[in-house]
Amino acid sequence: MDEQTEKTGTPEAPHGYGPDGAPLAPFGYKADGTPRKDGRGRPVGSGAKTAPGPKKKGPRRPAAPSAKDVAAKQRAALLGLADMVLTPVAGAAATPVVRARLGERHAMALSGDVVILQSATPQIVDQVVALAEQRPGMLAWLDTLENQAPVMGLVMTGLQVAKAIVQNHMQPDARLAAAGQTLVRVRAAQIAEEIERQARDLGVDVPMGEAAAA
């Protein structure tokens, strides 16, 4: 048997014979000594080649944000920073210390400057964002500020509260003062109601006062 394909397809030699006349067994032998027809049931490490299985899919990476999304995010961040800077300036311009330092005329001008800057801020920010598209990395420092967002938000809230308190002392509002007195009475009534509820739950007698009678 000189041809490798001689008697190919027979049970004894499904892959043909080699030059030495022995049946070819690329997938090894069965328990009865005949060549295997394919690699199914082949022992691990037998050396026979099998078709590669489907590739396992790794974790899907999040899609990179589009240029439009990046620009919108940068614009919102810059507008927030501008407001964070300008709002305290407007509040400071109304304080007696600043007015005494700058004078009434310049303190009034400073308040007007804030209004002018705030009205122009959106256009300025748009131009900065457009320039950043041509110069990558120009606004990379915004990423650092984003990591400090909770701290920045706390600072902004504190500045707004301080501004409101200063304005309230400069121009006290009678309705706001009355609301403060009402708030005290409301909190006292809530505390009394909670104590009375706990007393009833414990079976303790609740004295009849004005609040209970009402």
Which amino acid is located at 93 in the chain? A
| β partners of residue 29 | 35
148-167 per-position pLDDT tens digit: 667 667 776 777 777 777 77
pLDDT digits (tens, 9 = 90+) for 190-209: 999 999 889 888 888 877 65
Interhelix angle for 149-170 vs 67-93, to 10°? 30
Question: Does residue 75 contact residue 54 with C-beta atoms inside 8 Å?
Answer: no
Total-model pTM? 0.42
Kindly give the residue spans of alpha helices, DSSP state H, lying in 94-173.
Answer: 96-102, 104-134, 141-147, 149-170
What would the pLDDT profile of 50-102 be if each residue is shown by its tens digit? 444 556 666 676 666 677 887 888 888 888 888 878 877 877 787 788 888 88
Q: In whole angstroms, what is the distance from residue 208 CA to residue 200 CA?
A: 13
- DSSP bridge partners of 23: 17
Q: What percent of the chain has pLDDT over 70?
A: 73
Is residue 55 classed exposed, middle or buried when 0-12, 13-18 and 19+ CB atoms within 10 A define those classes? Answer: exposed
Looking at per-residue pLDDT, the higher value among 10 and 42 belongs to 10
pLDDT tens-digit profile of 94-136? Answer: 778 888 888 888 888 988 898 899 899 999 999 998 888 888 7
- Fill in the DSSP letter of residue 104: H
